[in-house]
Amino acid sequence: MDHSVLAAAREEAHATPLDTLDMSDPKRFAAGTALPFFERLRKEAPVHYQPNGLYGPYWSITKYKDIMATDTNHKVFSSAHGITLVEPRSEELKAPMFIAMDPPKHDDQRKAVSGIVAPNNLANMENLIRSRTIQVIEQLPVGVPFDWVEKVSVNLTTQMLATLFDFPFEDRHLLPHWSDTATTVGMTEAEMDAREAELQNMLKYFVRLWNERVNAPPKTDLISMLAHNPATRNMPPREYMGNLILLIVGGNDTTRNSMTGGLKFLNEFPGEYDKLRSNPSLIPNMVSEIIRYQTPLAYMRRTALEDFELHDKTIRKGEKLAMWYVSGNRDSDSIPDADRFMIDRKNVRSHLSFGFGIHRCVGNRLAELQLKILWEELLKRYPRIDVLAEPTRVPSSFVNGYLSMKVQIPA
Amino acid sequence: MPKVNFISFAGKTYTADVAEGTTVMRAAVDNGVPGIDGDCGGQCACATCHVFIEPEWQSKTGARTEPESAMLEFADGTKPNSRLGCQIEVTKALDGLTVRMPEGQH
């Protein structure tokens, strides 16, 4: 990022009265200037209440240790009222998903799908992921600019997702389309109606796949697993929709944006890119550092089930809070020199990006595997890939990611 | 110093000499024993230090705590002798403790 833009953002962050700071507003994420504002919150108001947030009143938790304590206290801080600050338009339009449930229902539904990313299954998938990765990157144009997000990040994560669902491969472009549909916020009534209609199309498509599989012998794809597990086989349609959104967004947006972020960071820290070229065995460590530095989901929301004292503040029963992973991951009190991207960082796996506690990302090992393979294969073919311009960013305070990033492989 | 033995999924044994009061997770991580990650740093919040306690040691390592059981619910291949290494402190009484590793931490 242009240093003058960041310097201006830092100045603005310190000039903005604390009581008007609203990090749920996507504008600073769209501009790529959110971090200096979190820096100020961590220093001056680590437990910060905003009564006039864009999506209603909420608390911001911004320090690593406070986020860890909140995330692991699921008895006080419930997920069952939603995991984003945005409220559903109505009760009927809610789409329940297991990440937004508390035990015991959460536990049963999560277990219905977690086997797909079990260690032996991951080992089975490795060859397929590698051959597809090679195919995609060998077709990249050399000596001309292209969009990394489209040609690499979206392409690879879409193929992966199609495999996990055993989704008709020729229709796989629908998956990122539905992912984007589900995560788009800040719309007019008409746009929200159109969004709802598109999610109904998604549901219709997936109901067809469900019906094919529910009467067939169980297989190891996510839909068959849901259709055959006692905890999920009688889900009402909206709950099927909710869990689909969870699996599509969780398996798509996050890894996609880490695939883009990684290349961006290596360009911003050329010394680290040199380190990588001279020592490719750093890749697994680098993958965790990329996921920390990107933090593809900026926060998770919780709702207090009882009054709770945190430092000198009282979070009241029923109030919402955002655990800003994107801020905790830059908290130098817990992660030394946190604003530096260091591919050989010690204790690199302690980052918050996957969350901690019972809602910890179920697909974390698969995400790491995809990123590891991508960088192993890229490095063998292209020792350098140049980022040509600042990427355009997703206008969301939840999905911390990129719409496009122009790059070029030197001829 | 008490010894802790780690048997990898492939059957290889690693032995660590550790100070009393060290957790089984720390014993592995600080001595470069592969197969235990300890992502959360010992907060009982990630289940990446999942181990199986050898039967003869089970009575000495005690029972799981409630948060530990909650996290083990989501680990892969959890068995009755599953524990999280971060929740077991090595004492003199545990000198020679032997634990087995799962296929992968999840």
Residue window 333-362, chain A: list those with CB within 8 Å of chain B: 347, 349-350, 354, 356-358, 360, 362
Cβ contacts of B46 on chain A, cutoff 8 Å: 356, 360
- Angle, helix A253-268 to helix A155-165, in steps of 10 degrees: 150
On whether the CB atoms of residues A72 and A297 are closer than 8 A, the answer is no
Compute CA distances A374 → A52, A278, A282, whole Å.
43, 17, 14
CATH number at residue A217: 1.10.630.10
pLDDT tops 90 at residue A88:
no
Domain extent at residue A214: 3-408
Question: Which whole number is the average pLDDT over A278-287?
Answer: 98
pLDDT tens digits for range A20-63: 999 999 999 999 999 999 999 999 999 999 999 999 999 999 99
Q: Which pLDDT belongs to residue A184?
A: 84
- Termini Cα distance of chain A: 25
Distance from CA of A179 to the nearest CA of B (A): 25
- pLDDT averaged over chain A? 95
Q: Which pLDDT belongs to residue A328?
A: 98
Could you give the CA distance from residue A391 to residue A70 in angstroms, rounded to a whole number? 33
Sign of the four-CA dihedral A103, B37, A350, A27: negative
Buried b (16+ CB within 10 A) or exposed e, A369-382: bbbbbbbebbeeee
Question: Which whole number is the average pLDDT over A268-281?
Answer: 98
Q: Which pLDDT belongs to residue A183?
A: 87
Cis? peptide before B102, omega within 30° of 0? no
The number of beta carbons lying within 10 Å of the beta carbon of residue A200 is 12
- Termini Cα distance of chain B: 31
Could you give the CA distance from residue A54 to residue A86 in angstroms, rounded to a whole number? 9
pLDDT tops 80 at residue A217:
yes
pLDDT tops 90 at residue A308:
yes
pTM exceeding 0.90: yes
Output the tens digit of pLDDT for each of chain B's 106 residues. Answer: 999 999 999 999 999 999 999 999 999 999 999 999 999 999 999 999 999 999 999 999 999 999 999 999 889 899 999 999 999 999 999 999 999 999 998 7
Q: Let me know if B45 is exposed, middle or buried by CB neighbors in 10 A (0-12, 13-18, 19+).
A: buried
Tokens of residue A130, six digits: 């590698």
pLDDT tens digits for range A360-409: 999 999 999 999 999 999 999 999 999 999 999 999 999 999 999 999 99
pLDDT tops 90 at residue A335:
yes
**Pairwise CB contact (< 8 Å): A365 & B41:** no
In the structure, what pLDDT confidence band is assigned to residue A94 with cuts at 50, 70 and 90? confident
Q: Which pLDDT belongs to residue A120?
A: 87
User: Which residues fall within 8 angstroms of residue A146, CB to CB, at 6 or more apart?
Assistant: A140, A406, A407, A408
Which residue in this structure is represented by tokens 């009575």? B59
Could you give the CA distance from residue B75 to residue A291 in angstroms, rounded to a whole number? 21
Q: HEC profile for A311-328? A: CCEEECCCCEEEECHHHH
Domain count, chain A: 1
Chain B residue with minimum CA distance to A122: B104
Q: Which residue has the higher pLDDT, A291 or A5?
A: A291
- Helix or strand (DSSP H, E) at A90: none
Point out the residue among B70, B71, B74 whose CB comes nearest to the CB of A114.
B74
Q: Is A68 on the interface with B (CB under 8 A)?
A: yes
| Sequential DSSP letters for B34-89 | TT---TTSSSS-S--SEEEE-GGGHHHH-PPPHHHHHHHTTSTT--TTEEEGGG-B
Question: Which whole number is the average pLDDT over A187-208?
Answer: 93
**Pairwise CB contact (< 8 Å): A111 & B73:** yes
User: Which residues fall within 8 angstroms of residue A208, CB to CB, at 6 or more apart?
Assistant: none
- Helix or strand (DSSP H, E) at B7: strand B3-7
Q: Where are the beta strands (DSSP E) in A286-366?
A: 300-304, 308-310, 313-315, 320-323
Cβ contacts of B84 on chain A, cutoff 8 Å: none
Q: Is A22 on the interface with B (CB under 8 A)?
A: no
Cβ contacts of A71 on chain B, cutoff 8 Å: 45
**Residue A373 — left, alpha, or beta (φ > 0 → left; ψ -120 to 50 → alpha)?**
alpha
In the structure, what pLDDT confidence band is assigned to residue A1 with cuts at 50, 70 and 90? low
On whether the CB atoms of residues A225 and A108 are closer than 8 A, the answer is no
Share above pLDDT 70 across residues of chain A, in percent, rounded to a whole number: 99
pLDDT tops 90 at residue A93:
no
